[in-house]
Amino acid sequence: MNRKEFRDLASPAAAREAIDSLPLEAGVERVPLAEARGRVLADRLDAELDVPGFDRASLDGYALRARETFGADEADPARLAVVGEVHAGEAPAVTLEEGEAVEISTGAVMPSGADAMVPVERTDVDDGTGDVLIRTSVAPGDNVMFAGADVAAGERALGPGTQITPRDVGLLSALGVDEVPVRASPRVGIVSTGDELVRPGGDLESERGEIYDVNSYTIAAGVEDAGGEAVLYPHAGDDQDEMERLLREAAEECDLVLSSGSTSASAVDVIYRVIDEQGDLLVHGVAVKPGKPMLVGRLDGSAYVGLPGYPVSAMMVFRTFVAPAIREAAGLPEPETATVTGRMARQERYAEGRLRLMPVGVTTDAEGEPLVYPVDKGSGATTSLAHADGVVEVDPDTDYLEDGEPVTVRLFSPDVRPPTLLGVGEDDPTLSRLLDSLENPRYLSVGSRPALRRLRDGTPDVAVVAGPLERDVDADELARWEREWGLLVQSDEADAISGLADLVDADLRFVNRTADSGLRTSLGVALADLADDRGVDRHDLVEAIEGFDLALRAHESPARKVLAGEADVALGLAETADRLDLAFVSLGHQPVSVLANPDRREKAGVRDLERALDSAGETVE
Amino acid sequence: MNRKEFRDLASPAAAREAIDSLPLEAGVERVPLAEARGRVLADRLDAELDVPGFDRASLDGYALRARETFGADEADPARLAVVGEVHAGEAPAVTLEEGEAVEISTGAVMPSGADAMVPVERTDVDDGTGDVLIRTSVAPGDNVMFAGADVAAGERALGPGTQITPRDVGLLSALGVDEVPVRASPRVGIVSTGDELVRPGGDLESERGEIYDVNSYTIAAGVEDAGGEAVLYPHAGDDQDEMERLLREAAEECDLVLSSGSTSASAVDVIYRVIDEQGDLLVHGVAVKPGKPMLVGRLDGSAYVGLPGYPVSAMMVFRTFVAPAIREAAGLPEPETATVTGRMARQERYAEGRLRLMPVGVTTDAEGEPLVYPVDKGSGATTSLAHADGVVEVDPDTDYLEDGEPVTVRLFSPDVRPPTLLGVGEDDPTLSRLLDSLENPRYLSVGSRPALRRLRDGTPDVAVVAGPLERDVDADELARWEREWGLLVQSDEADAISGLADLVDADLRFVNRTADSGLRTSLGVALADLADDRGVDRHDLVEAIEGFDLALRAHESPARKVLAGEADVALGLAETADRLDLAFVSLGHQPVSVLANPDRREKAGVRDLERALDSAGETVE
């Protein structure tokens, strides 16, 4: 095997500097006012006209000369002849002479000769003569908004770099501006590589090792979050000519090209060669975890950054190094990073001599103080970040973080709200429906045994366990219900099996659950009973079951193997059989328990869960 | 005049309740994954497949049976025959037998028979035989990501109500989801009324009292900020049939109809009648300022809210009462309202017995503590909010807020950043260019005299004044420059006037600046000199100038009157004449001074201004 090795890793600061040196600005574009919200003004806008453009009546009433009201009051009103009326949106037809008034509507043009107005509430009309009686005195300018009083022509209206709010749209509207010069969004091309990638929505051939392409849409969403415009290019394989053509096409059309996708060494090599030979390679490898295989360079006048292939790594590197550059180019202010300081919920070891960007979740302890726990499922995981709230940066010279050590979490965005409830444990359909009624819960399907372990460590608020488990942890049982479990087979093969004995005796391909799961525990107990009945060793029964070791992690996965024809019998729930239209052989019922950390009973999220359990009727027997 | 009076004002709480009682939900729609960012998931999404869908090699190396490596180390490697290779994206062609290994790439499918892999770095190839030598021992499962280890079929993936982040897009991608069921955005129709309104971009006839329609685009931007979809309807005049037709069309097509725009009593009356007679009127008038004329009701199955006509009032009512209902219907969480507590920068009187929503600006004092000042320019103003940072709610029974009294400001959004520098004073082109180079300054063109008054009150950081002013305020002059001022005339009438004497003697229509402005002060001094020369009273000269009292607020407004042919001569700057292509008669130079509050010299924004002044060469002489 022939692989590019990273000789000298650049420091994170050097990588940032290299990216900052690349010009990403996309220039200026003009957008209609209706689409200007959230965009960034490219130039200063000065008022080109007075607002209002005329002296404007502020109320309904009478326009007049102020001096003719001097001395007027309730007892001794001034009498003026009404010589016309002006409504909003029409030109005054009269000019005011001495002793005259004009009826006027809010927003109408003050007629020539008038210098103030009196609201209708302070007037009476003499029914006989039609004259108006003014029962108050006003000063010149009273109840009139003079031309330019709101905004005056030539006044500085909005400065360059203003991110346009609805309030600014108001100012621009008042000025009659219907097209706004804004910073163009940097176009960011996303080229994903790897023969094994299939776009979401496409058909996946798992047996060929195909996986859905996570990076393309995820990075595209990140680009748009940062104010860029994402352009997705078709997948490139590992062919160098094709890859070069695609990268050049993207470089031609975009301000920045990101490559991402494959973790395969050959695809990475191909990209490396294209940039190194055809462009300008500035950085190759950075001393950060994740992020070591990052590339920074230029190709055909466009900026280029190569992201790591693993989705979590790609997103962390994108957020840390690329998104700030896109925001800068889009003219958007760096968001006031919301940070939370909390205690580590458990020890975390780390000693690789690189800066580490550690995705974490945040929850609260009994006192409402933040608790921080790492969420990474390993480098191949695609989904850890969906269950994370932010990132802790761990220094290269920090070897481990102690349990209880204070750390600072940079939240993914200022509006990240840590979950109200952190639950861990068994997958269960009843539980899933319950969680739907809660506001912002987080539930990690780790299985029953790991759930108990974590509850003992003190991180989650509740653990949901199934089956006949020894639980050596101090916990309050909030609720318990039963679920029916057994064996699932294709409907047309329902005759093949009528109980556990058939699983042992017949020639069937079985799919099991992992040892972590409550179903597996219940199956183990049932097999032990059968062994007792037969007077044989339990181990002999297990050996006779083909596929007993083929253990899958989630409650539906075995059933889906049966559905796909890859197995004959699966361990599972009656509810799953029903939902997936499989035949079901019941082997019994097992309890599902919701166990709460006793210290967290008063936490709002736990109380909400209790209420939801109560109203669903799932209470402790 | 015939006007609807508001008999019983509803309490703000009752108005909110009425709006909450209206169903705004727009149901569920399916959007492509590429457009799902920021949308709100309508239903729970469970994983429909295992991720990865196969047992996957985590590294480049060799797939093998773990037990054949037991005991292997650097000194005594295990030797295995290499019987094939598997790359990412291809199905393994071989099944492993005893004593065999398969070369495997990161991400490739583990071949049958293999239960672990060893990274290439811990192996050597025997060039003679082609066998691989394994220099380490591994356990079953080492360096393999098992099917479903990342996400397992049937696992709860995302709960209903999740607002989709890029990280969630990653999870959805991994699951192959390319279409997402999301809460549909409530459609909000905006009907604006009033014969006097012109859409931005249209031609304005100020003499007819036309003004640009501020509310339509502003409210539309607010609707979109709140997660709704805004639909603008054509302007309606004051005709009842036409208005009814428009409102019904909007009610038919939208979940919520907002009317807004006119301040004219007749237009408001027409709308009132349509809702009252054809629909269902729930609230008419609310005890809040602004917001008294608010309407809440139903029309043809759609919700209806009538907003006040004045733009500032409309926006305040929209934000306070309508936006939360739209967010709720869109499934968006109420933003964690950012609040700032600061001291009132001046006394504010208020005694109307209604809840008051007071728009304010926020700045910082010498100690960096927030100072809060009201920004409303009066009910007719369209633009106050563009210079505001948030709102202070003043209780109905609070008659006044003391200077220095602590108040809580609800910022318009969590990412509002109060200005780094608050300046007030004269409009000046040189100043405007300087401000462009600063980050987020705020400058209020109030004229020279009010600027000095405010500087004395202690609100702004700097005041910019022009002309020969008495300044009885303790201030540090940061910079001073000269600007040439004089009279501006149409180019083809440049012969008509050669100096100030002509303004007095010839029959010319003049346009002045307001008494607040430095130009007006300089003109006054020049006229006094001329009166001295002629041995007459200054007042006589002023009387001889037609239009001396026609005083406009901004430095360009008089020039624009000349440009429009509405006057012959304007007071203004040489730079303005140059820019607007007018002829210029110089009457002298006047100083422009940048004065800083001595307490604020260390404030970052003031230091930035000093640096900008320095590098522009505008330093104190």
Please give the full DSSP string across A258-280, using - where no structure is assigned.
EEE----HHHHHHHHHHHHHHSE
How many Å lie between the alpha carbon of B317 and the closest alpha carbon of chain A? 13
Under the banding of pLDDT at 50, 70 and 90, the label for residue B379 is low
Under the banding of pLDDT at 50, 70 and 90, the label for residue B596 is very high
Segment among A50-54, A126-130, A358-362, A469-473 with least mean pLDDT: A469-473
Bigger pLDDT: A258 vs B382: A258
Asked if B388 reaches chain A (Cβ–Cβ under 8 Å), the answer is: yes
Segment among B192-196, B556-560, B602-606 with least mean pLDDT: B192-196
Which residues in chain B have Cβ-Cβ distances shorter than 8 Å to A46?
432
Q: Is the Cβ pair A107, B441 closer than 8 Å?
A: no
Under the banding of pLDDT at 50, 70 and 90, the label for residue A203 is very high
> Which residues of chain B form CATH 2.170.190.11?
56-145
Number of alpha carbons in the 13 Å side-chain half-sphere of residue A169 = 25
Q: Phi and psi of B5, rounded to 5°? A: -100, 150
Q: Is the reported ipTM for this assembly greater than 0.95?
A: no
Under the banding of pLDDT at 50, 70 and 90, the label for residue B4 is very low
Bigger pLDDT: B364 vs B240: B364
pLDDT at A380: 67
Listed by number, the residues of chain B in 140-169 with a beta carbon closer than 8 Å to a beta carbon of chain A are 145-161, 165-169
pLDDT at B155: 87
- At A306-350, the pLDDT tens digits run 998 888 889 999 999 999 999 999 999 877 667 889 999 888 887
On the question of pLDDT at B225 being above 50, the answer is yes
On the question of pLDDT at A534 being above 90, the answer is yes
Residue B410 token pair? 């609800």
Which residues in chain B have Cβ-Cβ distances shorter than 8 Å to A53?
204, 206, 210-211
Write the CB contacts of B416 (distance below 8 Å, at least 6 apart in sequence): B338, B389, B390
A-interface mutation test, from B167, B179, B310, most A Cβ less than 10 A away: B167
Q: Is the Cβ pair B150, A439 closer than 8 Å?
A: no
Q: How far apart are CA B528 and CA B536, in angstroms?
A: 9
On the question of pLDDT at A615 being above 90, the answer is no
Asked if B214 reaches chain A (Cβ–Cβ under 8 Å), the answer is: yes
Which residues in chain A have Cβ-Cβ distances shorter than 8 Å to B383?
51, 150-151, 170-171, 174
On the question of pLDDT at A479 being above 60, the answer is yes
Which residues in chain B have Cβ-Cβ distances shorter than 8 Å to A107?
194, 196, 209, 211, 262-264
Q: Is the Cβ pair B172, A200 closer than 8 Å?
A: yes
Asked if A79 reaches chain B (Cβ–Cβ under 8 Å), the answer is: no
Specify burial of residue B70 (Cβ count, 10 A radius: 0-12, 13-18, 19+).
exposed
pLDDT at A621: 42
What's the CATH number for A12-25+186-330?
Answer: 3.40.980.10
Q: Phi and psi of A213, rounded to 5°? A: -75, 110
Q: Is the Cβ pair A266, B105 closer than 8 Å?
A: yes
Q: Identify which of A56, A91, A161 has the shortest CB distance to residue B208.
A: A91
pLDDT at B94: 92
What number is the average pLDDT over the span A592-602? 94
Asked if B415 reaches chain A (Cβ–Cβ under 8 Å), the answer is: yes
Q: Phi and psi of A483, rounded to 5°? A: -135, 145
Q: Is the Cβ pair B432, A46 closer than 8 Å?
A: yes
What number is the average pLDDT over the span A160-187? 95
Q: What is the pLDDT of chain B when averaged over all its residues?
A: 89
| DSSP per residue, A278-327 | HSEEEEE-BSEETTTT-EEEEETTEEEEEPPSSHHHHHHHIIIIIHHHHH
Which residues in chain B have Cβ-Cβ distances shorter than 8 Å to A200?
33, 172-173, 175-178
How many Å lie between the alpha carbon of A150 and the closest alpha carbon of chain B? 5
Residues B559 and B570 sit within 8 Å (Cβ to Cβ): yes
Q: Identify which of B145, B206, B224 has the shortest CB distance to residue A378.
A: B145
Quote the distance between the C-alpha of residue B55 and its chain's center: 49
Q: Is the Cβ pair B380, A52 closer than 8 Å?
A: yes
Asked if A445 reaches chain B (Cβ–Cβ under 8 Å), the answer is: yes
**Residue B110 to residues A136, A581, B40, B130, Cα–Cα distance (Å):** 94, 31, 38, 21
On the question of pLDDT at B470 being above 80, the answer is no
Percent of chain B with pLDDT over 90: 61
Under the banding of pLDDT at 50, 70 and 90, the label for residue A7 is low
Q: Identify which of A46, A86, A553 has the shortest CB distance to residue B152.
A: A553
Which residues in chain A have Cβ-Cβ distances shorter than 8 Å to B165?
221, 225, 386, 412-413
Listed by number, the residues of chain B in 550-589 with a beta carbon closer than 8 Å to a beta carbon of chain A are 552-557, 559-560, 576
Q: Is the Cβ pair B149, A179 closer than 8 Å?
A: no
What is the number of H-type helices and E-type strands within chain A?
Answer: 15, 36
Percent of chain A with pLDDT over 70: 96
Q: Is the Cβ pair A440, B161 closer than 8 Å?
A: yes
- C-beta contacts of B397-402 below 8 A and 24+ residues apart: B397/B353, B398/B350, B399/B349, B399/B350, B399/B351, B400/B347, B400/B348, B400/B349, B400/B350, B400/B351, B401/B344, B401/B347, B401/B348, B401/B350, B402/B344, B402/B347
What's the CATH number for B56-145?
Answer: 2.170.190.11
Q: Identify which of A196, A386, A560 has the shortest CB distance to residue B167.
A: A386
pLDDT at A3: 41
B-interface mutation test, from A2, A110, A217, most B Cβ less than 10 A away: A217
Residues B554 and B511 sit within 8 Å (Cβ to Cβ): no
Which uninterrupted H or E stretch holds A249? helix A240-253
On the question of pLDDT at B227 being above 90, the answer is yes
pLDDT at A264: 59
Nearest to A585 by CA among A474, A488, A448: A488
Q: Does domain A424-621 have CATH number 3.40.190.290?
A: yes
Cα diameter, chain B: 122
Q: Is the Cβ pair A33, B86 closer than 8 Å?
A: no
Which residues in chain A have Cβ-Cβ distances shorter than 8 Å to B204?
49, 53, 176
Residues in chain A, how many?
621
Bigger pLDDT: B555 vs B531: B531
Which residues in chain A have Cβ-Cβ distances shorter than 8 Å to B213?
173
On the question of pLDDT at B6 being above 60, the answer is no
Instruction: Give the CATH fold of the B427-621 domain.
Output: D-Maltodextrin-Binding Protein; domain 2 (3.40.190)
Listed by number, the residues of chain B in 84-113 with a beta carbon closer than 8 Å to a beta carbon of chain A are 86-91, 103, 105-109
Which residues in chain B have Cβ-Cβ distances shorter than 8 Å to A34?
217, 220, 232
Under the banding of pLDDT at 50, 70 and 90, the label for residue B378 is low
Look up the CATH superfamily of B339-418.
Answer: MoeA, C-terminal, domain IV (2.40.340.10)
Q: Is the Cβ pair B60, A265 closer than 8 Å?
A: yes
On the question of pLDDT at A618 being above 60, the answer is no
How many Å lie between the alpha carbon of A554 and the closest alpha carbon of chain B? 5
Q: Does domain A28-51+150-183 have CATH number 3.40.50.1470?
A: no
> Which residues of chain B form CATH 3.90.105.10?
28-51+150-183
Residues A321 and A305 sit within 8 Å (Cβ to Cβ): yes
* CB–CB contacts below 8 A, A to B: 453
SS (H, E, C) B398-465: CCEECCCCEEEEEECCCCCCCCCEEEEECCCHHHHHHHHCCCCEEEECCCHHHHHHHHHHCCCCEEEE
Residue type, A330: A
> Scanning every residue of chain B, which has its alpha carbon at the shortest distance from the alpha carbon of A424?
B156
Q: Is the Cβ pair A54, B311 closer than 8 Å?
A: no
Asked if A44 reaches chain B (Cβ–Cβ under 8 Å), the answer is: yes
Q: How far apart are CA B346 and CA B359, in angstroms?
A: 14
SS3 content of chain B, % helix, strand, coil (to 5): 30, 30, 40
pLDDT at B515: 85
How many Å lie between the alpha carbon of B1 and the closest alpha carbon of chain A? 8
**Residue A204 to residues B53, B85, B98, B326, Cα–Cα distance (Å):** 9, 22, 31, 40
Listed by number, the residues of chain A in 446-505 with a beta carbon closer than 8 Å to a beta carbon of chain B are none
Under the banding of pLDDT at 50, 70 and 90, the label for residue B3 is very low
Residues B461 and B558 sit within 8 Å (Cβ to Cβ): no
Under the banding of pLDDT at 50, 70 and 90, the label for residue A6 is low
Segment among A515-524, A540-549, B350-359, B602-611 with least mean pLDDT: B350-359
Number of alpha carbons in the 13 Å side-chain half-sphere of residue A418 = 27
- At B75-91, the pLDDT tens digits run 999 999 999 999 888 99
> Which residues of chain B form CATH 3.40.980.10?
12-25+186-330
Asked if B217 reaches chain A (Cβ–Cβ under 8 Å), the answer is: yes
On the question of pLDDT at A354 being above 90, the answer is no
On the question of pLDDT at A174 being above 60, the answer is yes
Asked if B610 reaches chain A (Cβ–Cβ under 8 Å), the answer is: no
Q: Is the Cβ pair A166, B315 closer than 8 Å?
A: yes
How many Å lie between the alpha carbon of A219 and the closest alpha carbon of chain B? 7
How many Å lie between the alpha carbon of B501 and the closest alpha carbon of chain A? 28
> Which residues of chain B form CATH 2.40.340.10?
339-418
